[in-house]
Amino acid sequence: MNVTFINPPDPTKPDYKIPFMADLVPAGFPSPAQDFVEKRLDVNDLCIPDPPNTFLVTVDGESMVNAGIHDGDTLVVNRALKPRHGDFVVATIYGEQTVKELHTKPRVRLMPHNKAFKPIYINAESELIINGVVTSVVRVLK
């Protein structure tokens, strides 16, 4: 799976606050809509709480579809977070970018979430760099 880097948001541009409805939206039977806005929310505050350590990437491939990460999705990645067992990470292995679930027990490996792909086992000779921990997935519905 290749990962294409996207430039992070420009901190010199103004913040845009978007209306945020406090009520939950049922995904089942619809309920009457509320006619008021509870507050205004900047999407950057929601998805990017640590801008200096955050970057965005676009997913290319299907190895993580069963984890809800699809081809074309944008990942919000924080490079300051310490990667832990079970985190989704953007990593470089042998010079290739990938997004996988990090497993550290019983041995280090990068786990896909699609049975068509095999785990990547890490050994002493492996060239693994963890670029950051995935904190959000952004998907544009078409």
Q: What is the DSSP string of the chain?
A: -EEEEEPPP-TTSPP-EEEE--S---SSS--PPPSS--EEEEHHHHH-S-GGGEEEEEEESSTTGGGT--TT-EEEEESSSPP-TT-EEEEEETTEEEEEEEE-SSS-EEE-SSTTS--EE--TT--EEEEEEEEEEE----
Whether 63 is catalytic is yes
Amino acid occupying residue 94: Y
Which one from 13, 39, 100, 115 is the annotated catalytic residue? 100
Out of 17, 63, 126, 142, the active site residue is: 63
Residues 62, 81 contacting (CB under 8 angstroms):
no
Concerning whether 100 is annotated as a catalytic residue, the answer is yes
Catalytic residues: 63, 100
